[in-house]
Amino acid sequence: MKIILLLSTALLLHLSAVSRQQPAFYNTTGHYWQLADTLQAGRKPSSALWHTWFDDGIGRWLTGTGHIDSVTFVQDMFRIYMPGSDTGTLSESAAYHLEYRKKAAWIKATAPGLEQPAVRTAMKKALYPCLPPRLRQDTLLPTLVYTFMGFSDATSVQQFVIMDMLLACQLHTYAPGLLAAHEAFHSITGRSFHGSRFNATIATPQEQYLLLFLSNVSQEGIADQIDKPVLLQRSSPVYDAWQDLYHDEARQSRQCIRQLDSLLQQAATHTIDISYQDLFNGYAVNGGHIPGRYMCSIIRQSGRWQELLQQADDPLAFMLLYQRAASREQGKFSKESAAYLQRLQQKLILPVK
């Protein structure tokens, strides 16, 4: 947690230096292509050129968070872009560079469209109906960052949405702004939760981990209502890859809810020794999308969607609304767990100012 905060502060300082105001877009793939073009011309990039990539705020964030290993990155770049090198059996990381090499002309032609005001307009159009009115403020919108992430991925860090350029291009041709809208939801509600709703100073370590975990589950649940109805259509360019992520979703979700219920029952009466990582590995699948999307869909089907959105930055409101919405067959928490969640909400969630 600490290292991520430090790295995101470095990112913020770097991007603030780029523009006095927070920029609308930031793109570091130009540095990547400079390295690739030099290698393809049969020359070794100078150390200054490598530094341009690695010392950029995004480069430091990518290596610091483990998205990219710097030694592997250099080796992969030589292997994929230097003429005459063997591209037979490739590691996963090298294979992703090869995707970039094969699609280079198309990515370069598509990329300028990603930095158009229309993308932010489309993002807002998809995002704002899923935020409470108090958070629908243009000043809260994150910078959209495009880069080579090492694999098909997107994430949000404070006021930045970081997207892999290839993935962003693929989705841009199908549904502009939609990937950014999902991540912007995390960015905005995450800042609101940490900044003004979660009274972390009085939380025990157990409560802190639980709240962070539940915040992730509830955020994924709501954010998936923004993009998944479109991006999981059969015509979507990510249909096959993303469909797998939700395989057997209802059964897996009910299982996560059962396990979480046992944990909450214990936590209600004892101090439990569990880390943030344990929670992610044992009580959710795919980073919280399971059971988040399943739970949110049940809240929505029960007619409580607008009620949920008013408290989109309160994970305990999400849990308690789910408890009211779900049938026993869909997977309900026990009375003890529900009472504990209520106590946590009363203790740790601050009212909207």
Q: How far is the CB of 223 from Zn ion (least distance, A)?
A: 5
Q: Which is nearer to Zn ion, 38 or 286 (CB)?
A: 286
Stretch that binds Zn ion, among 65-73, 83-91, 99-107, 221-229 (CB under 5 A): 221-229
Q: Which is nearer to Zn ion, 224 or 261 (CB)?
A: 224
3-class state of residue 41 by DSSP = coil
Q: How far is the CB of 197 from Zn ion (least distance, A)?
A: 19
Stretch that binds Zn ion, among 25-33, 57-65, 166-174, 213-221 (CB under 5 A): 213-221
The residues with which 145 forms a beta bridge, in sequence order, are 26, 162
Q: Compute the residue count for the chain.
A: 353
The answer for residues whose C-beta is within 8 angstroms of residue 151's C-beta and 6 or more apart is 67, 92, 93, 96, 164
Stretch that binds Zn ion, among 23-31, 91-99, 214-222, 337-345 (CB under 5 A): 214-222
- CB atoms near residue 6 (< 10 Å): 11
Q: Does 312 bind Zn ion (CB under 5 A)?
A: no
Q: How far is the CB of 293 from Zn ion (least distance, A)?
A: 10
What are the phi and psi torsion angles at 162 (to 5°)? -110, 120
Q: Which is nearer to Zn ion, 176 or 190 (CB)?
A: 190
> Which residue of the chain is nearest Zn ion when measured via CB?
223
Please check whether residue 297 is in contact with residue 229, taking contact to mean a CB–CB distance below 8 angstroms. Answer: no
Q: How far is the CB of 289 from Zn ion (least distance, A)?
A: 7
Q: How far is the CB of 237 from Zn ion (least distance, A)?
A: 18
The answer for residues whose C-beta is within 8 angstroms of residue 166's C-beta and 6 or more apart is 99, 100, 103, 107, 148, 152
Which of residues 80, 223, 279, 317 is near Zn ion by CB under 5 A? 223
Tell me the CA distances in angstroms from 165 to 38, 47, 58, one per residue in order: 20, 24, 13
**Cα 205–208–210 angle (5° rounding)?**
110
Q: How far is the CB of 339 from Zn ion (least distance, A)?
A: 29
Q: Which is nearer to Zn ion, 61 or 73 (CB)?
A: 61
List residues near Zn ion by CB under 5 A: 220, 223
